[in-house]
Amino acid sequence: MISRLSLFATFALLTSVTGAIAAEKPFSQEAFAAAQGAGKGIVVHVYAPWCPTCRAQEPILHKLEADPKFSGVESFRVDFDSQKDAVKSLKARNQSTIIVFKGAQEVGRSAGETSEKAITELVGKAL
């Protein structure tokens, strides 16, 4: 228990020092609309826990979320199985879809991409 607490404290300290953004937030239409209205860069990851491609994308996205370069970018996760309305409104046909916005404008999208270089380039469009 003490080691878990120490690990958490260390992570919290590193996050505050590097200015890294929080991990993907669960998608809600209200939070998404607020981020769009504020003109923020936004990354939406349409994810399913059973999807091996989604699991391959996850550490890449988490690495980018921890990069101070992306500190102003909001990151949301849409559950492909339980958030069908959001999946439909985002016009995501598959899980493992990553959609990037600058404010209200979609600036990039990929489905099934697992290349770190390609995902980094895609997320960079949010800046």
DSSP code of residue 48: -
Number of other residues whose CB lies within 10 A of the CB of residue 126? 21
CA–CA–CA angle 71, 77, 83 (5° rounding):
155
Residue 9 lies in a domain: no
- CATH value at residue 64: 3.40.30.10
Query: Domain limits at 64?
Result: 21-124
What pLDDT, in 10s, does the model give residues 25-53? 999 999 999 999 999 999 999 999 999 99
What is the Cα–Cα distance from 51 to 69, expressed in whole angstroms?
28
What pLDDT, in 10s, does the model give residues 47-102? 999 999 999 999 999 999 999 999 899 999 999 999 999 999 999 999 999 999 99
Domains identified in the chain, total number: 1
Considering the entire predicted model, what is its pTM? 0.81
Check pLDDT > 50 for residue 5.
no
